Amino acid sequence: MSNEIDYTNNPLHGLSLKNLLIEIVDHYGFDILFAYLNINCFKTNPSIASSVKFLKKTTWACEKVEAFYLYQFKSLPKVSSEQFSLPPRDRVIPDDQTPGEPAELTLDDAEQLRIKRVTKAAAYNQDRYADKRDNNRYGKNQYGSVDSADSATEATEDPWAKWR
């Protein structure tokens, strides 16, 4: 039995990046793409050729556009946890899932999504840095273990003292 995986059900199979981009730009336009993906090639002098050139060089941006194509333009359900870590072109779409109609996207919805993402990122960063502050306060290093007796006294002293 072969270990090869059948990707023929993936809408990206056999679709070039240029044709993918043409499809979504014809449907949504560069403004919507920039609003939802926040990739500068869709804002500054956007064109298919320059966008394809940038996306071919930049893996993270290309994967972001491909995921947008699958889950917004083709309206496929979100992937399972084991498929999430794979790039969109390598994901296996179950046979019972077929592409649907493109999602209706507006600039207002994109702004609400952006605000939601900023708020979520701020909360994540606040929690992350609060943990670091707590560890420093109790003389713990970044791994949660106590460095030395000196670090505990340094944490309670004035942190700006050495720069005055």
pLDDT of residue 43: 92
One digit per residue, pLDDT tens: the chain, 164 residues?
444 555 567 788 888 999 999 999 999 999 999 999 999 999 988 999 999 999 999 999 999 999 999 999 988 888 888 888 888 888 888 888 888 889 898 888 889 988 998 898 888 888 877 766 666 665 555 555 555 555 555 555 666 666 65
Residue 140's pLDDT is: 58
- Sign of dihedral through CA atoms 79, 81, 85, 90? negative
The pLDDT, as a whole number, for residue 155 is 54
Provide the b/e sequence for 84-121 (b: ≥16 CB within 10 Å).
Answer: eeeebeebbbeeeeeeeeeeebeeeebeeeeeeeeeee
Report whether 103 contacts 75 (CB < 8 A). yes
Q: At what angle do helices 48-57 and 17-28 cross, to 10 degrees?
A: 130
pLDDT of residue 1: 41
Q: What is the pLDDT of residue 40?
A: 93
Q: Is the pTM of this model over 0.75?
A: no
Q: 3-class DSSP state for residue 140?
A: strand
Alpha helices in the chain (DSSP H): 17-28, 30-37, 48-57, 59-68, 81-84, 107-137, 149-156
What one-character DSSP code corresponds to residue 74?
S
